[in-house]
Amino acid sequence: MSRIEQRPVPANVCLQLEQAGIHPVLARILSARGISAKEELENSFSYLIPPNQMLNLDKAAALLADTILAGRKMTVIADYDCDGATACAAAVLGIRMFGGDIDYIVPNRFDNGYGLTPALAEQAFRLHQTEVLITVDNGIASVEGAAKAIALGMQVLITDHHLPGENIPKDCIIVNPNQKGCPFPSKNLAGVGVIFYILLGLRAELRRRNRFSKTNQPHLDTLLDLVALGTVADIVPLDHNNRILVSQGLKRIREGITRPGISALFRIAGRNCQQATPTDLGFAIAPRLNAAGRLSDMTIGVECLLSKEMETALEYAHHLDTFNLNRRQLEASIKQDALTKAAALQPAGHYTICIASGTWHQGVIGLVATRIREHYHRPTIVFTEDEHGNLQGSGRSIPNLHIRDALAHIAEHFPGIILKFGGHAMAAGLTIAKDSFQRFCDAFEQYSQRQLDSRQLEPVIETDGSLDTRYLTEELVTLLDRQIWGAGFPPPLFYDEFTVKSQRILKDAHLKLILERNGRSYEAIQFQNKSLLPDTIRLAYRPALNTFNNQTTLQLYIETVEG
């Protein structure tokens, strides 16, 4: 059972926001999310953190400018998720705008594994005659791959956002806001955000060299649709800087100034570009791109994003949609087996869940780990056997346990258990020897018990408290919808008591209700619930606008009902 808690609201900050002209409900919501000044809501490009604050960005810009002006060949090594695909497309499109000769390689998760490997460095050199190798959304852990590229005579530019380990590539230019010594104030850029910043720096460098002027320079804002998609898809925290990037990208998508590949994906997903939201990007567009990397080859996704013609883009989008349907079926079949294995561990008596099977598909174990984590609210790692007979794992964590730090601790204190690992606070990947499985599980459990207390194993639903019925209106929903909500900046969720006036089950799956509060009636729906509710209920809910038969009405989406 989830515990419902109200986010604390700093009263003085809330008052300051109201005095600055912000709606009182919005002021309360924003102050609870750390907003302290009206300027932090500005989404214009002029508020973006300047590129010159990022360590080594000037060196990266100079290298790329030298390479372009000399007509030398570049190759991008991408990652096989949505962030990697959008970063790859942005790098290729951006550098071609400046006249650069560039190609790309997306590793196949089953044949190549993650990141820049020695084999990929060899492929880039032999197949593309590469002189400058650029990684996007990977590379900070590719010590051997970078060394191989350098040995072959290539220059290497690492662009990444993942947390660095003890060893990082040497004799390379590294641009990563999370690397040691980088003063860039936002550590939350996605991989596509990092390469976009480098392109901004490259443009400034080429202006200094009189290759372009401000009047004839390439318009990098044409890449912001890619930046918005990759940023939302990678679930990085939406700090002010990321909200600007996402807002500007969505603005272009809504105005129809977007590339054919993204328009095609919206069409295939049955979504309206003119009403695009972060939810559309995260739950409709990104999964279709990710499915290619999970089940096949992300090259299809990159080519969709690079397509110049709508007809070509739609062909790729249809392929991606098919992959996504197959991915959903595969995930569903594995999920039930995984839940059975997890239940057999009696999770209530443990702080973590580790399960393994030799037959689960490598491409969906991360999704299955997410489902197990959501079900039990425990840090969860799901393993499957790879082609070398080792166990490849994908982990998902809960607040208060930094899963990459956990893996780093185990690697340091239990040498030999983990063969390789990487990731973020909430998600990570690793490889272990099959005979080390139980030792790893024990070490992960011990570490987690030291970091967590039992109360932190209870799922918490944070709300914004009660919403006065004076403000429970279509006008407020419209106001809230203008903001960019997402990871680290969650959408508003309110908590109140209602009387149930009527209720019925829709399509044998969802609960449709008419609720009453303070003499006012509201339509409401709770998805995936077939159980009728008591006459009086306390619930966490989101107000939204529901359009049906060209009529728009206020509707409450029920998140949870207090038991």
Report pLDDT digits (tens) over 347-382: 999 999 999 999 999 999 999 999 999 999 999 999
Res. 113: pLDDT tops 80: no
Residue 457 DSSP symbol = G
What is the 3-class SS of 28-90, one letter each residue?
Answer: HHHHCCCCCCHHHHCCCHHHCCCHHHCCCHHHHHHHHHHHHHHCCEEEEECCCCHHHHHHHHH
Please give the model's pTM, rounded to 2 decimal places: 0.93
Res. 511: pLDDT tops 80: yes
Segment 381-385 mean pLDDT: 97
- Residue 39 CB neighbour total at 10 angstroms: 10
Cα(226)–Cα(81) distance, integer angstroms: 13
Report pLDDT digits (tens) over 271-312: 999 999 999 999 999 999 999 999 989 999 999 999 999 999
Q: How far is CA 494 from CA 5, 406, 426, 544, in A?
A: 11, 34, 25, 12
Query: How does the average pLDDT of the chain come out, rounded?
Result: 95
- Map out the domains of the chain with their CATH numbers: 3-41+461-561 (2.40.50.460), 46-321 (3.90.1640.30), 345-457 (3.10.310.30)
Distance separating the N- and C-terminal Cα atoms of the chain: 8
| 299's tokens | 């090259």
| 331's tokens | 């995930």
- Residue 554 CB neighbour total at 10 angstroms: 17
Report pLDDT digits (tens) over 194-249: 999 999 999 999 999 999 999 999 999 999 999 999 999 999 999 999 999 999 99
Report the candidate in 80, 81, 131, 122 with the shortest Cα–Cα distance to residue 101. Answer: 131
Report pLDDT digits (tens) over 311-320: 999 999 999 9
At 17 the pLDDT is 97
At 165 the pLDDT is 85
Res. 332: pLDDT tops 80: yes
Cβ pair 260, 312 in contact under 8 A: yes
Which long-range CB contacts under 8 A does 271-280 form with residues at least 24 apart? 276/250, 277/250, 277/481, 278/232, 278/246, 278/250, 278/484, 278/485, 278/486
Res. 563: pLDDT tops 70: no
Provide the angle, in degrees to the nearest 10, between the axes of the packed helices 224-233 and 240-254.
Answer: 120
At 299 the pLDDT is 96
